[in-house]
């Protein structure tokens, strides 16, 4: 798995991939190694750390999935679990680690709750909104790139 982690400290902010990296979990500003760093599992993970200015913005012309999340959010975990079960990848923007990203999210969505889910240029809403689209059979066409 290859992930990209960025943020103000270089250890938080955005996570690209299907799961949050050990670096991101441990990078909460307390400078202690998290359990995932203390006890290696034997699996190698490649993490590329980029400066915030060099992180590419999501290509909104394709149906890339972007999740605005925070660490202690059950609905965020549920959204990621659902997307993972569908074999999908996403870009995760941790607003608890990046105040500028939080501000952009609020300005764009007019909401302060997380997760906020985007598929391409379409703002899906939160977890419940995504699941309502799924139950109505409207999520899969959106994921395929068909406009709503």
Give the CATH fold of the 2-143 domain: Glutaredoxin (3.40.30)
The label of the residue with tokens 């400290």 reads 9
Model confidence at 147: pLDDT above 80: no
Confidence class for position 20, pLDDT limits 50, 70, 90: very low
Identify any residues that bridge with 116 across adjacent strands, giving them in sequence order.
68
- pLDDT at 146 (0 to 100): 80
Q: How many whole angstroms separate alpha carbon 22 and alpha carbon 36?
A: 6
pLDDT at 86: 94
Instruction: With a cut of 50, say whether residue 29 has pLDDT above it.
Output: no
More confident residue, 23 or 115: 115
In this predicted model, what pLDDT tens digit does every residue of 90-142 receive, in sequence order?
Answer: 999 999 999 999 999 999 999 999 999 999 999 999 999 999 999 999 999 99
| Backbone φ and ψ of 62, nearest 5° | -115, 160
Domain boundaries, the chain: 2-143
> Coil, strand or helix: which one is 77?
helix
User: In the chain, pLDDT over 90 holds for what percent of residues?
Assistant: 54
Residue 43 has pLDDT above 80, yes or no: no
Residue 8 is predicted with a pLDDT of: 41
Q: 38-48 in b/e burial notation, b at 16+ Cβ within 10 A?
A: eeeeeeeeebe
Among candidate residues 27, 25, 34, the one with its CA nearest the CA of residue 11: 27
Mean pLDDT (whole number) for 36-52: 50
121 vs 5 pLDDT, higher one: 121
């Amino acid at each position: 798995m290859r992930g990209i982690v960025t943020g103000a400290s270089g250890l938080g902010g955005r996570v690209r991939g299907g799961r949050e990296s050990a670096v991101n979990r441990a990078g909460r500003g307390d400078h202690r190694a998290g359990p995932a760093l203390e006890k290696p599992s034997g699996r190698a993970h490649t993490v590329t750390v980029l400066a915030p200015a060099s992180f590419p913005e999501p290509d909104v012309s394709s149906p890339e999935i972007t999740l605005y999340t925070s660490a202690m959010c059950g609905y965020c975990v549920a959204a990621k679990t659902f997307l993972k079960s569908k074999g999908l990848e996403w870009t995760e923007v941790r607003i608890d680690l990046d105040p500028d990203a939080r501000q952009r999210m609020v300005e764009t969505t007019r909401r302060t709750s997380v997760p906020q889910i985007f598929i391409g240029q379409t703002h899906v809403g939160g977890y419940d909104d995504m699941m309502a689209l799924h139950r109505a059979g409207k999520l899969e066409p959106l994921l395929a790139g068909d406009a709503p």
